[in-house]
Structure 1
């Protein structure tokens, strides 16, 4: 039986922006994905996947959600930073935006962008 991924990311494939971003990221992570280091999952196909954490489909439609190898839930900017850490060539944004001084601003910026994107998806009925 293969080992679980180091990072599993749930996202909303019905959001055109989210889907394009994950497709782009997946193309950069082909070797990691094939090796089982990272996995991207569609929350619409697994709506109960994050229920043990109290997260539902709407939560993932608002922000990326991921689970690391230790079973910790990563939400929003923290999930994006974890993805960058696994992406060749993206260690620098993970280090820059994930350091303890900048991370609160990273989370704030991510959350505001996510709020706007979520509102746009609801307006366009991308569900």
Structure 2
């Protein structure tokens, strides 16, 4: 999966607004990308939307997913990098995230897993 591929109007970001941390991050990102034509899908309010990507709801609740213009599904740090690639002032972060994936992938997965567990304990579903 190549997170640096073209991200256009056919790009869809699947996120979980029930997670307060994730929701805050997505709200900030959406504001930064107001001029981009991105489809933002909140799986908390639109759980049926995951049928488009054929992935279990709990998996999408745990990690950010992006379907890019080529139909590829990117998740976790690659999904973030795909979004940051098109965000003015954050392209460097996308580049760094992809180049250091040996570190960023396990770090993202660890943090995502802990947030997921925390949200479940707090009843954020």
Q: When the two structures are superposed, what TM-score results if normalisation uses the length of structure 1? A: 0.85
Aligned pair partner of 1:112 in 110, 113, 119: 110
Q: Write out the 4+ residue segments of structure 1 that deviate beyond 6 Å after TM superposition.
A: none
SS in 1 for 2:46: coil
State the match for 1:96 in structure 2. 96
Distance 1:122 1:72 in 2: 29
Give the total of aligned pairs: 118
1:5 CA drift (Å) = 1.8
State the match for 1:80 in structure 2. 80
Q: Report whether the alignment pairs 1:60 with 2:60.
A: yes
CA RMSD of aligned residues (A): 1.5
1:57 CA drift (Å) = 1.6
1:47 CA drift (Å) = 2.1
Deviations 1:9-47 (A, max 9, x none): 010111111111100111111111xxx2x2211112332
Deviations 1:64-117 (A, max 9, x none): 011000000011111011111111110101111112xx1121111000000110
SS in 1 for 2:29: helix
SS in 1 for 2:48: coil
SS in 2 for 1:74: strand
